[in-house]
Structure 1
Amino acid sequence: MAAFFKSNEASVSFEVGEYQQFPKPEPEDAAKEKTPKPKLKHFSVVLLSFALLCVLQGVLNIALRLALTEPTAEGETEEEFCPEGWLMFGSSCYYISSQRGRSWDDSRQDCMQRGADLVIINSRQEQAFLTGFTAAAWVGMTDREKEGTWIWVDGTPVDKDGLNWAPGQPDDAFGGEDCGDIRTMTDFIGLNDFNCSARSQWICETM
């Protein structure tokens, strides 16, 4: 609805109409806030990727633990593979006697009663593992059948060049050293021939 007003002094008219409110234009800054910034989008992608990597790492860690604790045989874990008090190296278990005072033959008899035999050393790595537990201990080698021809208790020949012997050994000292032991003494470390009736500690092995 419109109305007209006239002034006496001048012919000026004003038209008053209905007021219509128009929406105010949004400030430029507000429009910018509604539009996601590219930097924020990039940060969100990086954050999501990092979270996925963390989850994946956790899954891999669990899988690795399960793989390492898988039974070595049906119903057995790695800790149960060797009898209590025995040591494991590779696929073998070793018993190192704590007492000293048995001959080579008596030591072998003790091993057999434990379901084992005197140790057969097949490599320098195995020899290194067994070195240092005792100053001297019987092992399963002898040259009783033929002097200078060393064999293990299972009948296989001793690899004299492939193993470490103590300095100057074997020397068959006093004409009667037909059994083997392993020594860890100052300046005397390695395999050694010794009198079979001497009293010593011993090392048993079972697979």
Structure 2
Amino acid sequence: MLNMKGHEDESGMVLDIRNLSSPARSAALNRFTDESVEVATSVPGRKLHKWVAGSFCLLCILQAALNVSLRLALRTEVTCKNLTNEEDSLTKINCALQQDSMKKELEEQKRQLDYMASQVNVLTNEREELKRKLEDFAHYAQQGWLYFNGSFYYISSIAKSWQDSRDNCSQRGAVLAIISSREEQEFIRQQQKVMWIGLTDRETEGVWKWVDETPLTASFWYSGEPNNFKGRNEDCVVINHYYSNENNWNDAVCENEYSWLCEKHM
């Protein structure tokens, strides 16, 4: 039967099934598989590729075990078929029981093999996704974008109208910033600039929406804003660092030119 000894890796798990019976060996493989997946999903990105390799090795071990068990099952089946009617009936009964036991063992090993193959595929996809995110992070960081809480932010060095600013963000694969929390508002406020953000009521006066069509929920208007100051049609919003407190949004004429803030989710 299967004779193999596992190893101890960074997770501290050991797989040693050299001397286990078939049911115990299947249980050990099942426990090791479940623990491997649980640990693999919690390890840092730098170690994820090691878990992919380790899972692939276990997959090979299970495949080898399945092949060995299959050969033994076939050998047992041939032996049982060669028994003559004159041979002891008890021997035939034992042979049938042995065949049934090996059939169950084959089914269990096949289940383990299929499960491990699916987990290797999951880990491989996670590794590729992590690699893509790291590449994106390096790219945007090199371009001078700022990172905060899952998003990158680009602050322009020149001034444009609100629509031109929005178009510029679109060309960069981003949108004018959408502020959805107090923490994000504080991060942006610390940049100390007057900047367009992605909030407007151009479609319906008084109904403020973000550029992704979501309605305004959390807001940080400066006292008295929005106000269409002196009867002007102020349909677009800037974040104004001259208002020193947390609430520093101001509605402004969309054709005015200011810097702008793009946002791109990772």
Determine if the alignment matches structure 1 residue 97 to structure 2 residue 161.
no
Please give the per-residue CA displacement for 1:145-201, whole angstroms capped at 9, x wherever unaligned: 111110000000111xx3321121111113310001111115575111000000100
Equivalent position to 1:67, from 31, 36, 44: 44
Helix, strand or coil: the match of 2:238? strand
* CA-CA distance at 1:132 after TM superposition: 2.9
Conserved 8 A contact 2:189-2:239? yes
Q: Which has the higher contact order (CA 8 A, sep 6+)?
A: 1
Q: Which amino acid aligns with 1:74?
A: K
Helix, strand or coil: the match of 1:185? coil
* CA-CA distance at 1:80 after TM superposition: 2.0
C-alpha separation in 2, matches of 1:69 and 1:191:
41
Structure 1 unaligned blocks of 5 or more: 1-65
C-alpha separation in 2, matches of 1:128 and 1:137:
14
The aligned residue for residue 225 of structure 2 is 169
Please give the per-residue CA displacement for 1:94-148, whole angstroms capped at 9, x wherever unaligned: 101112x200001111111111111111111101100132331000010011111
C-alpha separation in 2, matches of 1:69 and 1:182:
39
Q: TM-score, normalised by structure 1?
A: 0.60
C-alpha separation in 1, matches of 2:154 and 2:236:
19
**Structure-2 change in CA distance of 1:175 and 1:113 (3 Å):** same
**Structure-2 change in CA distance of 1:75 and 1:194 (3 Å):** closer
Q: Which amino acid aligns with 1:172?
A: N
Determine if the alignment matches structure 1 residue 130 to structure 2 residue 192.
no
Q: Number of residues paired by the alignment?
A: 139
C-alpha separation in 2, matches of 1:98 and 1:183:
16
C-alpha separation in 2, matches of 1:73 and 1:147:
43
Helix, strand or coil: the match of 2:248? strand
Determine if the alignment matches structure 1 residue 180 to structure 2 residue 237.
yes
Structure 2 unaligned blocks of 5 or more: 1-42, 48-126
Structure number with bigger Rg: 1
Q: TM-score, normalised by structure 2?
A: 0.48
What percentage of aligned pairs have identical amino acids? 40
Helix, strand or coil: the match of 1:73? helix
**Structure-2 change in CA distance of 1:166 and 1:113 (3 Å):** same
Conserved 8 A contact 2:222-2:243? no
C-alpha separation in 2, matches of 1:149 and 1:69:
47
Which structure carries more strand by proportion? 1
Conserved 8 A contact 1:127-1:163? no
